[in-house]
């Protein structure tokens, strides 16, 4: 069986005030070309179909047209889950009816965690569609008060699957999570860390024939070749400028996982960081003028309206800065900023509380704030 693994489309994404829908439509056309050439038996989309809970109309139309092409024109089964950016309730609309057309969209944990089973010449392949779910939801689903972290939640889900189903057959896990050891970028929204770490141990997925993940935007293996992130099809921040975007083609044989291949995607407009002197850039040294650019000017002297003049040649400059020498105090500030970026919502509030009050937040107030933050996160995902 041949599977095309992709994820993190983020349809409706806006980067530095630029709507990416046109770029997304073009990259989806490339994926269609790959599907026509490779003829996969199924397509996996491992979450974050949309960039936000209420996507714009053109993003909804783009996804609808893509589903119609895959299911209606090509008759290829699609196995998709909701990610942390998606609204589970909105994506769930019609999902039970779509199954008749082999469009399988899972947005919540359902009793039995019944897999989708497809057949090839060697027999059945069972696909376990596990959408992004908060630990609180998994705790309620299993009635287990010990589930307070993403790790404990995934342990319970995987344990249920491996205890319930015959793992000597071929099983594919489709998930949306932050596997420990994965390389992240700035455009990924941090998963909630209320009650503990957002990370999940990749070793949990070793029993599966293949584990197809979404959330991290860089294509990568975690622990083993059969546990992989496909990465996003486009660069969504300048922290991804060095990424090579692709889709992953996976082949299963009678024994299980056989091989994988990353097939490159080439955007109409790349996202690049360019350093140079103003005069050189005005001579065209930045390369393709239509790319999305973050330009760092090396000039020391004063420049008159550099953005306005450079944009006449490079219309898609998204960021312009002067590259300054970094002193010890600046390095300290940068370190503090990076440390805060790694904090959870609760950790940030606790730091703010201590700064304002001059004392650590009391336990009873921390418990109250954790509940408030969790409720706001759930409301955002369901709004």
Q: What residue spans define the domains of the chain?
A: 2-264, 271-322, 328-381
Packing angle of the helix pair 21-38, 57-67 (nearest 10 deg): 10
Q: For residues 233 and 5, give the distance between their C-alpha atoms in angstroms, rounded to a whole number.
A: 11
Q: For the residues 337-349, what does the mean pLDDT come to?
A: 71
Confidence of residue 348 (pLDDT cuts 50, 70, 90): confident
What pLDDT does residue 217 have?
95
Task: Name 299's Cβ contacts closer than 8 Å, sequence gap at least 6.
Answer: 277, 278, 322
The tokens for 120 are 């090839």
- CATH class for the region spanning 2-264: alpha beta
User: 268 pLDDT exceeds 80?
Assistant: yes
Q: Could you read off the pLDDT of 134-158 as tens digits, one per residue?
A: 999 999 999 999 999 999 999 999 9
Other CB atoms within 10 Å distance of the CB of residue 275:
12
pLDDT of residue 339: 64
Packing angle between helix 135-142 and helix 150-164, nearest 10 degrees? 40
Output 176 or 188, whichever has higher pLDDT.
176
pLDDT above 70: residue 295: yes
In this structure, what token pair is assigned to residue 153?
């939640």
User: Which carries the bigger pLDDT value, residue 292 or residue 341?
Assistant: 292
Identify the band that residue 319 occupies on the pLDDT scale cut at 50, 70 and 90.
Answer: very high
Confidence of residue 198 (pLDDT cuts 50, 70, 90): confident
> What value does the mean pLDDT of the chain take?
90
How high is the pLDDT of residue 373?
A: 83
Confidence at 121, pLDDT banded by 50, 70, 90: very high
Q: What is the dihedral of CA 67, 73, 74, 75, to 10 degrees?
A: 80
Give exposure, 8-38, as e/b (b: 16+ Cβ within 10 Å).
bbbbbbebeeeebbebbbebbebbeebbeee
Mean pLDDT of all residues in 180-202: 71
Position of tokens 């004063």?
302
Q: In the predicted model, what is the mean pLDDT of residues 89-117?
A: 95
Rounded to a whole number, what is the distance in angstroms from the first to the last CA of the chain? 38
Share of the chain above pLDDT 90, in %: 77
pLDDT of 381 strictly over 80: no
For residues 204 and 331, give the distance between their C-alpha atoms in angstroms, rounded to a whole number.
38
Residue with the two structure tokens 């300048």: 238
Alpha-carbon distances, residue 370 vs 29, 240, 383 (angstroms) = 43, 32, 20
């Amino acid at each position: 069986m041949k599977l095309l693994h992709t994820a993190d489309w983020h349809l409706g994404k806006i980067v530095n005030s630029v709507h990416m829908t046109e770029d997304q439509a073009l990259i989806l056309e490339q994926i269609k070309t790959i599907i026509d050439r490779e003829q996969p038996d199924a397509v996996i989309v491992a979450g974050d179909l949309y960039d936000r809970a209420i996507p714009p109309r053109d993003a909804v139309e783009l996804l609808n047209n893509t589903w119609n092409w895959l299911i209606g024109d090509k008759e290829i089964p699609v196995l998709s889950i909701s990610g942390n950016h998606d609204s589970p309730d909105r994506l769930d609309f019609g999902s039970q009816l779509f199954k008749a057309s082999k469009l399988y969209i899972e947005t919540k944990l359902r009793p039995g965690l019944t897999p989708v089973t497809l057949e090839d010449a060697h027999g059945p392949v069972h696909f376990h569609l596990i959408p992004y779910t908060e630990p609180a939801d998994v705790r309620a689903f299993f009635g287990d008060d010990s589930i307070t972290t993403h790790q404990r939640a995934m342990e319970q889900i995987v344990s249920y699957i491996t205890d319930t189903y015959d793992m000597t057959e071929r099983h594919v896990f489709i998930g949306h999570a932050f596997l420990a050891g994965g390389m992240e970028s700035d455009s990924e929204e941090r998963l909630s860390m209320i009650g503990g770490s957002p990370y999940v141990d990749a070793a949990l997925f070793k029993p599966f024939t293949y584990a197809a993940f979404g959330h991290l935007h860089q294509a990568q293996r975690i622990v083993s070749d059969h546990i992989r992130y496909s990465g996003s099809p486009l660069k969504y921040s300048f922290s991804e400028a060095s990424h090579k975007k692709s889709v992953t083609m996976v082949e299963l044989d009678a024994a299980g996982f056989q091989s994988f291949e990353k097939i490159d995607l080439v955007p109409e407009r790349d996202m690049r960081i360019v350093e140079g002197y103003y005069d050189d850039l005005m001579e065209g040294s930045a390369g393709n003028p239509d790319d999305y650019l973050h330009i760092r000017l090396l000039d020391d002297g004063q420049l008159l309206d550099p953005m306005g003049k450079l944009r006449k040649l490079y219309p898609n400059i998204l960021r312009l800065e002067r590259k300054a020498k970094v002193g010890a105090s600046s390095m300290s500030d940068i370190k503090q900023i990076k440390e805060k970026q790694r904090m959870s919502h609760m950790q940030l509030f606790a730091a703010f509380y201590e700064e304002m009050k001059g004392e650590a937040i009391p336990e009873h107030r921390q418990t109250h704030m954790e509940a408030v933050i969790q409720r706001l996160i759930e409301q955002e995902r369901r709004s």
